[in-house]
Amino acid sequence: MARSATRKRPAAPAADAGVNPKAPCPCGSGRRYKHCHGSGYAPPVTRPFEGLPGEAHWVALRELVPAATAPLRTTDGRGVTLASVLPGGAPALVRANGEILLGVQLQASSDDVSRDLGTALAAALEAPAGAPVDPGPVGGAGSAGPRLQDLVDLQAPLEVTVHEDFGFWLEGVDAGAAARAGLEQANQAILPTELLPGLGAAYWVRPSGERAHLRWVRPEPEERLLDALARLRASGEILLGEGTRYAGAFRAHGLLVPVWDLPADAPAADWTGAAAEFQGRLERTLEVTDPLTPDERRARAGLLSRQITLR
């Protein structure tokens, strides 16, 4: 299991100990000392969902998946429904029957998304049934609320269900005309999305256009994964089959998300087998520890040139 994201920041010498304020901070953050330990600034939490079951799915629900839910269990055994997004971008709500919903896509966020969500969940756990949840300024600086890792049962697996629409917003609710109209408007913005079974956080999506995409949030350390992808690209084994193209990758909440372009006319189920074969190739390649060949180094440089960071 990955180390907890609650680990302490590395210590660094004080400025009067001879550290050049413009030099890289000795803590290894990559920032200048005057913008890191030299100023009391706390760097953003790179992997806010580290240590949670299904970390890659948390990233996907936060950044990629329009409509999905997953059951959570708190450390004291209470049930919570995790949702990709809630009406109006609300961080949490409590239904009249006492059901708690936690939305992972927030309208604002701080440098620690886990603390933002933990703050919202803690407020929902204390809110009366059917009452509005007021977690305070979620996403503001200096929040002292709990992190998700403090509240969620870390032994309970995360099992995601992708929905065709946001109908789960109104399940068991006697909604009025305004709520139904809002639901219909939200549904119109959903892109068809499916989770490929048995392959971790591999999500197929079909925007309006000529191509579909496979966006696969990978749990491996980035440098090790990039080496493996470079070897596969150099050997011509990075594709998922005829008509596919490796489009690049982006980094989200500390994990790498490779993306493939796929023919739009093939349904998601048609790609499960090809993705499973790629998974096998990748796992075998991840075990290779030899230095990269010149061709593989060039392939790696090409991969990096097409990589972006969302968060």
Predicted confidence at residue 12, as pLDDT, reads: 44
Asked whether residue 83 falls in the same domain as residue 28, the answer is no
Coil, helix or strand at residue 193 = strand
Predicted confidence at residue 176, as pLDDT, reads: 81
Stated pTM of the model: 0.84
**Rounded alpha-carbon distances, angstroms, from residue 245 to 182, 222, 310:** 37, 21, 21
Q: Give the span between the Cα atoms of 246 and 262, in whole angstroms.
A: 9
Predicted confidence at residue 16, as pLDDT, reads: 43
User: Helices in 127-221 by DSSP H: which ranges?
Assistant: 148-151, 177-187
**Any idea which residue has 């596969």 for tokens?**
232
Mean pLDDT by 10 residues, the chain (311 residues): 34 53 65 56 84 98 97 96 94 93 91 94 93 75 80 96 95 81 92 97 92 97 97 98 96 96 96 98 98 98 86 62
Of the three residues 149, 169, 187, the one that is the final residue of a domain is: 187
Asked whether residue 59 falls in the same domain as residue 183, the answer is yes
Asked whether residue 156 falls in the same domain as residue 85, the answer is yes
Q: Quote the longest CA-to-CA distance of the chain.
A: 66
Predicted confidence at residue 310, as pLDDT, reads: 72
CB atoms within 10 A of CB 250: 19
Predicted confidence at residue 140, as pLDDT, reads: 57
Asked whether residue 119 falls in the same domain as residue 158, the answer is yes
Asked whether residue 39 falls in the same domain as residue 59, the answer is no
